[in-house]
Amino acid sequence: MVARFGLPLGMALCFAVVGCDDQDQASDSLVRDAQAFANDVAKDTDSAAFRITLVSRDGTLAVGDNLLIVHVGFHDPNDPLDPGLGIPDARISLMAWMPLDDGLLEHELHAEALGEGRYLLDPIELDRAGVWQLDLDVDVGATMRENVSFAFLVEG
């Protein structure tokens, strides 16, 4: 299941499912490690340049409309829990999909830069329970692109 989202204000959300062994193995690992969403869940991007923190409106992800705030901060290797100094004017790409399902769901997402490296993604519609993978790309400037993936178990 792939959910496509588009962002205004130059923060385009673009989506493509690419079938390659490395991505399949990474997705398999994420699915095995999927847990229920908890506010302030954070991960470093793949190259460890940024720290990505997710917060939802009601502290969870559930079937239906969800509001997420994404904080993009510079990674501090000396303090892995620090969200980092916020990065303004980043372009965020989000792909939300169910690695254990097939199909396609498309809808529009409205986003708003909130300042201090925070970006509002609303509404993210999850149409069924199961394991959802959220893949985020963060573009800063003309040459820097970082990626991070989260997997969450969404209950009905």
| Cross-sheet strand order for the sheet of 91-97 | 104-106, 2-4, 91-97, 130-140, 144-154
> What pLDDT band is residue 40 in, cutting at 50, 70 and 90?
very high
Confidence check: pLDDT of 19 > 60: no
Q: Summarize pLDDT for 115-152 with one digit per residue, the tens.
A: 999 999 888 889 899 999 888 889 899 999 999 999 99
Identify the pLDDT of residue 23: 56
Identify the pLDDT of residue 71: 95
| More confident position, 76 or 58 | 58
What count of residues does the chain have? 156
Q: Summarize pLDDT for 104-114 with one digit per residue, the tens.
A: 555 445 467 89
> Residue 55: beta bridge partners?
69
Identify the pLDDT of residue 24: 63
Q: Mean pLDDT over residues 91-105, rounded?
A: 77
Q: Mean pLDDT over residues 13-23, rounded?
A: 42
Helix (H) or strand (E) holding 26: helix 21-33
Q: Mean pLDDT over residues 50-71, rounded?
A: 93
Q: Mean pLDDT over residues 78-86, rounded?
A: 84
Identify the pLDDT of residue 17: 36
